[in-house]
Structure 1
Amino acid sequence: MKAIIYRDNGGPEVLQLLDREVPAPGPGEVRVRIAVSGVNPTDWKTRAGATNPKQFPEVTPHLDGAGTVDAVGDGVDPGRVGQRVWVFMATAGRPTGTAAEFTVVAADRAVPLPDDVSFDVGASLGVPALTAHRALTVGEDGPSRLHPGALEGKVVLAAGGAGAVGHAAIQLARWAGATVISTISGPEKARLATAAGAHHVVNYREGDPAAAIRAIAPDGVDIIAEVALGANLALDLAVLRTRGTISTYANDGGKPVELDVRQNMTLNTRFQFLVLYTVGPAALAAAAEDVAAAVADGALPVGEEHGLPLTRFPLAETAAAHQAVEDGTVGKVLVDVSS
């Protein structure tokens, strides 16, 4: 099979396209023929060595993807062969991800994908959708699971709604019944956030964004899915309701976070820092189940018309795909692996 590998941390140039043996699934595992691989910021950061030291002599990157189960290991229903699936967390604790024609994962990390849902959607789920689910389910007064009506009466603020996680947060919050506000930096990103399903968009670079958000939500925002905590904290605290939650999954821009303790005591602010690697198996399983239900309801479409432009590369140009994500390409970067 064709696979992308790297042996040393570094820039995109360390990625190589090589021939490798097709892996065999072990007990409790499935082998998936990958059609489309999704690229996330964590993929290039792991390759670059910016997060954790490289654990394996050789790594095939990418946590997310979509394709078809073509073999199963002992203890897995043989009826799963031929099943269309989306794959998540493929490289968590393993050296082989979805940037290859075949990959092997634990059976519960290959989630059935309905026949009428594209592999592009499947490859765009994983990290963004599961992260968004976690961000929306950690509030003190909110639900721990998502379904239609779960967030009825709640107001959700998705910071950076034109990004992959922000896009998924908008879609999942809308599916669950919330009023959804998204902060954006200009007209084009406003268009994308609106296409994703945001009821309201607020340009944080113009006028008084806190006043604009308070005009929509006079009692404050219940949950904030935050991508740039250092840069946005003052705005977040100005619009958060008492006992509200700031769920932060990134700190884009790297601005240091300074907390006014008294202010947050008065608000009874809940800060939830999150990353999928350590969120725990129960939270991952719940998120995958709820996301699968949203997919079945048609709630997580992708593409320009749905607020998430797709940028594609062939497998041989995975290095260019990594560079595109590192450069901040708006939307989702996908790698076409096999037909």
Structure 2
Amino acid sequence: MATQYSTQAWHWQHGSTPANLTLQQLEIPALEADQVLVENAYIGLNPVDWKVLEMPEALGATTDMVPGLDGAGTIVAVGDHVDSSLVGRRVAYHTSLGSKIGSFSQLTPVDARATIAVPDELGLDVAASLPCTALTAWNALDKLPKRKGAKLLIAGAGGGVGRYLVQIAAANGYNVTTLSHPRHWQRLQQHGATTTLQSLREGEQWQGAHDYYAAVDAVSPENARALTDALGANGHIVTILGRLPDWPSAPFGRCISMHEVALGALHVHGSDADWQRLSAAGQQLLNDISAQRIEPEPLVIDEFANLPVHLEALKNRDFSGKALIKV
């Protein structure tokens, strides 16, 4: 008979704020054949974790669930189709918004293919900070045909995703221009940006050069629309926080390409090969952090009992850094 597991978890049934989460003892359903059970050491909090409480249907979630996408810990059990030697492995993961038990739990069932092995020399706290932000950045740049030396414009570069965008892009040989608040400029230059500019104000149009190979926007669809004016012929626009409101150029004009990024798409439509690529990318990013080739976000850690309060503080931008929960 399979072992039955129960877990303390932050459960959500109604309401639209982190205060509506309640701590409950829940039974873990029997693992599916391709799942593993992770005992979380740290939980990574992301803006989508409070946004899903405000608009669950739009984000593909439901009520009566344990939210949370990111975590890191140790595999304690495996499904029938998973190699039992994985028990005891330290992993980070990104799970689906549609999961009934996400990462806001002591124990989380996760698709085995969505796990990332954590190097022995790297802390699980840093590992838990990685998946949503760093993999989103990697996925955004993966949309672009690689062109070393090409001019790349990154908006929202001062945020968590932007931190990884700049470092990965610079490591891949792009000539990086960033848009952010000036307080980030020194760090962005240290991370490889060759030019640092002030963010566009709401409604402001792009006034710079019009020869960028690509622009990656982590601000808003409207900001991304303004950045399309920076693109040259056959340029690319990559949007992270929503689609462009309209097609930005006339037919047979600049012939630009539009790309959107959402890790959740892989949970619904991704193949095993897709997940193998993403997991390998995550492994490389963790290795790069461990080797100090990439600098992770500064960590802001709170206790499991304070998860709703810490999530509310993240929503209100009461601190700077990556929000984590120690389980």
TM-score by length of 1: 0.81
Check the 8 A contact 2:301/2:325 in 1, yes or no.
Answer: yes
Deviation of the 1:53 alpha carbon: 7.7
Q: Aligned partners of 1:83, 1:184: CA distance in 2, in Å?
A: 39
1:49 is displaced (CA, Å) by 2.6
- Residue range with higher mean Cα deviation, 175-184 or 290-299: 290-299
Residue matched to 1:88: 94
Is the counterpart of residue 100 in structure 1 residue 105 in structure 2?
yes
The answer to whether the aligner puts 1:126 opposite 2:131 as a matched pair is yes
Q: Is the 8 A contact 1:128 1:164 kept in 2?
A: yes
5+ long unaligned stretches in structure 2: 1-6
1:320 aligns with 2:309: yes
Q: 1:74 deviation in Å?
A: 1.2
Q: What is the distance in 2 between the residues matched to 1:238 and 1:56? A: 39
Task: Report whether the alignment pairs 1:268 with 2:255.
Answer: yes
The amino acid of 1:270's aligned partner reads S
- Aligned residue for 1:2, secondary structure, equals strand
Give yes or no for contact 1:324–1:333 (8 Å, CA) kept in 2. Answer: no
Q: Could you tell me how far 1:166 is from its partner in structure 2?
A: 1.4
Contact 2:153 2:215 in 1 (8 A): yes
Partner of 1:237: helix, strand, or coil?
helix
- Distance apart, 1:246 and its partner CA: 0.8
**Aligned in 2, Cα 1:195/1:325: closer, same or farther, shift over 3 Å?**
farther
* Correspondent of 1:231 among 223, 235, 250: 223
- SS of aligned partner of 2:27: coil
Of stretches 51-60 and 16-25 in structure 1, the one that deviates more from structure 2 is: 51-60
Q: Counterpart of 1:15?
A: 21
Higher alpha-carbon deviation: 289-298 or 241-250? 289-298
- Quote the Cα distance in structure 2 between the aligned partners of 1:126 and 1:197: 22
Q: Quick one: which amino acid aligns to residue 156 of structure 1?
A: L
Identity %: 26
Aligned to 1:198: 193
Counterpart residue type for residue 318 of structure 1: L
- Please tell me the residue identity of whatever aligns with 1:274: V
Q: Does 1:292 align with 2:283?
A: yes
Deviation at 1:292, TM superposition (A): 1.5
SS of the residue corresponding to residue 32 of structure 2 reads coil
Quote the RMSD (CA, aligned, Å).
Answer: 3.1
Alignment partner of 1:136: what SS?
helix
Deviations 1:14-62 (A, max 9, x none): 1112223355533121111101111112211112235538855521111
Give secondary structure in 2 for the equivalent of 1:308: coil
2:176 corresponds to 1:180: yes
C-alpha contact (below 8 Å) 2:115/2:279 kept by paired residues: no
Q: Is contact 1:135-1:225 (8 Å) kept? A: no
Q: SS in structure 2 opposite 1:297?
A: helix
Aligned-partner SS, 2:72: strand
Q: 1:189 to 1:240 in 2, by over 3 A?
A: same
Retained in 1: the 8 A contact 2:52–2:61?
no
What corresponds to 2:3 in structure 1? none
Q: Give the match for residue 146 of structure 1.
A: none
Question: Contact conserved, 1:196 with 1:307, CA < 8 A, in 2?
Answer: no
Q: Indicate whether 1:52 and 2:58 are aligned.
A: yes
| Structure 1 residues not aligned, in runs of 5+ | 144-150
How many residues in Structure 1 have an aligned counterpart in Structure 2?
314
With 160-169 and 222-231 compared, the bigger mean Cα shift is at: 222-231
Are 1:62 and 2:68 an aligned pair? yes
Q: TM-score, length-normalised on structure 2?
A: 0.84
Q: Which amino acid aligns with 1:84?
A: R
Partners of 2:255 and 2:304 lie apart in 1 by: 48
Structure 2 contact 38–76 (Cα < 8 Å) conserved? yes
CA distance in 2, matches of 1:322, 1:110: 24
* 2: CA distance, partners of 1:161 / 1:7: 35
Are 1:38 and 2:33 an aligned pair?
Answer: no
Task: Give yes or no for contact 1:171–1:300 (8 Å, CA) kept in 2.
Answer: no
Q: Does 1:2 align with 2:8?
A: yes
Distance 1:56 1:219, change over 3 A: closer
Following TM superposition, the consecutive aligned residue runs of length 4 or more in structure 1 with deviations greater than 6 angstroms are 299-302
Residue 248 (str. 1) matches residue 239 (str. 2):
yes
